[in-house]
Amino acid sequence: RKIMRGLLLLVSVGVAFSIPVSPQREGYAPPPSPDVPGHKGCRVGASKFPEGELIKSPRPHELMDTTTLPKEFSWANVNGTNYLTVLRNQHIPTYCGSCWAMATTSTLSDRIKIMRKAAHPEILLAPQVLINCGGGG
């Protein structure tokens, strides 16, 4: 559980993500069918700050001369080297609510490949491990 919580913290600020439904959690009730009108799944909305954000230090774009940055950049082509891992499609054969695990492991796999300078073998973290660790999603 500590690993899952730590990974969710990487993506939980200012974004929306899904939380797996688990029969092991207190108050579990089977989710309504996606075919039912008004079904919203288990999507958590984006963070909102009613009084505005509290900024205590300069933000990165305030600390540098942004005119020196390239007009465009892609990790898919850095001097002819692709630093991104393979694309995954979690929607085959159906939507299952695992998007949070797919996004987390894909993002971390990309960061590992960048850190290793695209060295072989490519490391692909398994979303299933997060789902199993979280009570079966």
DSSP, res 63: H
H/E element holding 43?
strand 43-44
Could you tell me if residue 39 is inside a domain? no
Could you tell me if residue 133 is inside a domain? yes
Could you tell me if residue 69 is inside a domain? no
DSSP, res 15: S
Q: What's residue 7's pLDDT?
A: 42
> What pTM does this model have?
0.54
Tens digit of each residue's pLDDT (9 = 90 or more) over 27-38: 555 555 555 556
Could you tell me if residue 66 is inside a domain? no
Q: Chain-wide mean pLDDT for the chain? A: 75
Query: 9's torsion region: left (phi>0), alpha (psi -120 to 50) or beta?
Result: alpha
Task: Tell me the C-alpha distance between 125 and 14, whole Å.
Answer: 24
Could you tell me if residue 84 is inside a domain? no
Rounded average pLDDT over 99-119 = 92
Number of domains in the chain: 1
Domain around 136: 90-137
Give the pLDDT band of residue 12 (cuts 50, 70, 90): very low
Could you tell me if residue 83 is inside a domain? no
Rounded average pLDDT over 48-76 = 89
Select from 130, 102, 123 the least CA-distant residue to 5. Answer: 130
Could you tell me if residue 49 is inside a domain? no
Could you tell me if residue 98 is inside a domain? yes
